[in-house]
Amino acid sequence: MTFLCSRLRVSLVVAVLWHSLVMAFQSGPQYPSSEALTDPVASLQKRLERHEIELKYEPKHGYLRSVLSQLGIPATSQALVFSKTSLQSELISPSTPRALYFNDDVYVGWIQNAPMLEVASVDPQYGTIFYVLDQKENLSPEFKRLGQPCISCHAPARDDVPSPLLLMMSVGTAASGEAIGEFQLVTDRTPLAERWGGWYVSFSQPGAAHRGNKVIGGGSERLLGDPSNGTRAFDPSLYLENTSDVVALMLLSHQVDVHNRISEASHQTRNLASDTPPSQIEAAVEPLVRALLFSEAAPVSDSVRGGTEFAKEFTAKGRKDRRGRSLKELDLNRRLLRYPLSYLVHSESFDHMPAIAREYVYRRLWEVFSGKDRSEQFAHLGNQDRSVLLEILSETKPEFQTWVRKK
């Protein structure tokens, strides 16, 4: 009887959630037009409408596996969050965490028995676009864009940056999954000891300090699985992978920050005149330069080891110079990447920034790589780092190489 009541409650929650979110989609802001969007999910939807591809439905995961395949997102990127921080938060708990999967441009969220997939896709022109996909089998599955209620949490801090922010948060979490205390935005500048509250973390170095795998009980944080917490761990057989990869978590914290910086720089420079004072351009774009170069990034004091399959897939997708070096090579001993320049310098969103913003970035990178700028913000870059980064970027980014030649 208890099991039946639980199933009925879940069904009711699902029905109410789906109705509310459809209404939110219908009443929320609809800018820009679907025809104007070129982000990966918008492009996938257009292919679906032209019947060029099909999404395959599975009883266990709905359209998840097929969506990941079509978007080129590896299942091994799986990261699990058990704090109730989602449109479908009532369905999330330590025993039913939300699974996140991602590549350089798209983030997909899946929850057990949830009515929809949650997707954030980065449009090169308009920034982050939120979508949902009904998880019921349908002959014509459709990605629907959401404005509200997504914008209520992902609203940018500045009025002159209309694109929503991508967020990775750390928060104390009760055994129920309810957030306790203040949320902390996680970037690669956040000390490891303060990261991943409300997240599962797999394969981290034994003894490495972080807030993952813990819930708050009796006024203190305790590891999940402690009988005194009354928590039940998740069943890995219900997910595509059995881990929440620490390397995936570290890359998430880096790239969501850089995506936000790219979006901010783009919006603030899009309508600037050619005679705009240099100080105004600097204020808009310099934060992006620092994020790209891991300025003030928290040190990796303990070696971090993640799932080898994800690390292998991630590294294999990097653009290589003639010596086979790539910005996607991992370090994990001293820092996240072997060559500390963000791989998102190769992203479409970076390439679609206004020329005035891209040229500012190129000039600043050249100043740092050439040794002209040896300020404290870039003191973490040794002479060899700077020399190698100049070589890799020159050989893998033709526009940068052209800029250097014109200099």
DSSP characters for 334-357? SSSBSS-S-GGGGSHHHHTS-HHH
Contacts 24+ apart (CB under 8 A), 368-375: 368/293, 369/393
Our CA angle for 225, 235, 58, nearest 5°, is 160
The total of other beta-carbon atoms located within 10 Å of residue 128's CB is 23
Is 5 within a domain?
no
Predicted pLDDT at 6: 35
- Assess contact for 68 and 101: CB atoms under 8 A: yes
Tell me: do 356 and 327 sit in the same domain: yes
Tell me: do 41 and 189 sit in the same domain: yes
Tell me: do 39 and 109 sit in the same domain: yes
Predicted pLDDT at 293: 98
Predicted pLDDT at 10: 40
**Domain ranges, residue 172:** 12-238
Is 7 within a domain?
no
Predicted pLDDT at 260: 94
Phi, psi of 336 (to 5 degrees): -70, -50
Q: What's the rounded Cα separation, in Å, for the pair 172 and 178?
A: 9
Counts for the chain of helices (H) and strands (E), in that order: 11, 10
Tokens of 291: 């994020």
R_g of the chain, CA atoms, integer Å: 22
Which regions of the chain are under pLDDT 70?
1-32, 147-163, 204-208, 226-231, 302-303
Predicted pLDDT at 205: 62
The total of other beta-carbon atoms located within 10 Å of residue 182's CB is 9
Tell me: do 187 and 256 sit in the same domain: no
Predicted pLDDT at 13: 40
Tell me: do 174 and 302 sit in the same domain: no
Predicted pLDDT at 1: 29
Does the predicted model carry a pTM greater than 0.85?
yes
Q: Hey, which bits of 204-345 come out as E strands?
A: 214-217, 220-223
Tell me: do 259 and 120 sit in the same domain: no
Is 206 within a domain?
yes
Tell me: do 18 and 145 sit in the same domain: yes
Which residues are CB-contacts of 123 (< 8 A; sequence separation ≥ 6)? 37, 38, 39, 42, 129, 349
237's enclosing H/E stretch is none
DSSP conformational letter for 320: B
Is 328 within a domain?
yes
Predicted pLDDT at 229: 62
Pairing of β 214-217 and β 179-185: unpaired
* Number of domains observed in the structure of the chain: 2
- Assess contact for 294 and 188: CB atoms under 8 A: yes
Is 3 within a domain?
no
User: For residue 212, which of 312, 321, 324, 94 has the smallest C-alpha distance?
Assistant: 94
Strand order across the 106-110 sheet: 79-81, 98-102, 106-110, 116-123, 127-134, 143-146
65 three-state secondary structure: helix
Tell me: do 93 and 114 sit in the same domain: yes
Alpha-carbon distances, residue 406 vs 151, 234, 380 (angstroms): 42, 56, 28
Domain boundary among 213, 238, 263: 238
Predicted pLDDT at 231: 67
